[in-house]
Amino acid sequence: MKQMMLLTKKLLLSFLLLLTCFLVNTNEEIEKLIPHFFLQPIAAENKLNLDFFNDPLFFFPMIESEKVVYLTFDDGPTPQSGQLLDMLHQYDAKATFFMLAPKMKKHPDFVNRMVKEGFAVGLHGVTHDPNLFYRSKESALQEMVEAQKVLEEITGENSMMIRTPYGSIPYLLDSYRKAIETYGFQIWDWHIDSRDWELNEQSYVEKTIEEIEKLTQEGKHPVVLLHELNETLEHLPELLSYLRENNFQMKTLNDSIEPIFFECNNRCYEYGSEKKEK
């Protein structure tokens, strides 16, 4: 909804600007004609200075750049992370990594590479064991705080982005969410589960492309769940080259984007019990 509104604003703004170009000649006059309340959200979303809008040509690349995909990789870093980063560079793709504390300790060089090379880093906890992670709101929060500490010790980065093991549905009860959000963490789930870990050969790529196209037509910027697995990497170039050839920008998640997360809506229940939360 937010993206639709933004797109509408951008289109309206483009129309205004085109009209303005026919009527006036100077930047000052353009600035007077386009109210700043149109420009500010666009500037904020794209991390731009308002001066940027003084160049009338800016609209054309911005309209073209509407196709955005957020690739996210869970459960790393792994011995394959270096290869994965090289591959992403090759296709001019950025991505976000939700990582586990013990694996970050094991592969600190890869974690540092991610930060230095402009990828986004998020937290995935410590144990990845639903029995331990979802035992209480304290255990869930504590695992994320621990992962945050490890990330900060390695890189100096202090990430507030988290993804809970297996996603927030069904075990992240509302009381857990409250504790996590009160601490300041942002919960991220996904639009598209690539099912890279269970689908054979390249069928995960085909399925993911199909879903990305569908959501893009609905005006969304899909968040895609992938894993740092050998099987994923094997067919990832097919996905990356498709996205490049079809003018998708592959960007990192960040604080200025509204997080995508599943809500309980009576679907959450305690791990180990089939009883629904009241």
Interacting residues toward Zn ion by CB under 5 A: 74-75
Based on CB atoms, which residue is closest to Zn ion, 10 or 227? 227
Based on CB atoms, which residue is closest to Zn ion, 75 or 143? 75
Q: Give the shortest CB-103-to-Zn ion separation in angstroms.
A: 11
Q: Give the shortest CB-105-to-Zn ion separation in angstroms.
A: 17
Q: Give the shortest CB-75-to-Zn ion separation in angstroms.
A: 4
Residue type for 180, please? I
Q: Give the shortest CB-71-to-Zn ion separation in angstroms.
A: 15
Distance separating alpha carbons of residues 93 and 108, to the nearest angstrom: 22
Distance separating alpha carbons of residues 256 and 275, to the nearest angstrom: 37
**Maximum distance among all Cα pairs of the chain, rounded to whole angstroms:** 69
Nearest residue to Zn ion, by Cβ distance, number only: 74
Distance separating alpha carbons of residues 196 and 271, to the nearest angstrom: 25
Q: Give the shortest CB-140-to-Zn ion separation in angstroms.
A: 14
Based on CB atoms, which residue is closest to Zn ion, 74 or 189? 74
Q: Give the shortest CB-166-to-Zn ion separation in angstroms.
A: 6
Based on CB atoms, which residue is closest to Zn ion, 13 or 172? 172
Distance separating alpha carbons of residues 235 and 20, to the nearest angstrom: 48
H or E stretch including 154?
Answer: helix 137-155
Residue type for 65, please? S
Based on CB atoms, which residue is closest to Zn ion, 190 or 248? 190
Distance separating alpha carbons of residues 62 and 115, to the nearest angstrom: 26
Q: Give the shortest CB-70-to-Zn ion separation in angstroms.
A: 17
Based on CB atoms, which residue is closest to Zn ion, 34 or 260? 260
Comparing CA positions, the residue from 89, 115, 122 lying closest to residue 223 is: 122
**Token pair belonging to 98:** 């939700």
Instruction: Pick left, alpha or beta for residue 125 (phi over 0 → left; psi -120 to 50 → alpha; otherwise beta).
Output: left
What string of DSSP letters covers 214-271?
A: HHHHTT---EEEEES-HHHHHHHHHHHHHHHHTT-EE----TTSPP-----TT--B-T
Based on CB atoms, which residue is closest to Zn ion, 75 or 189? 75
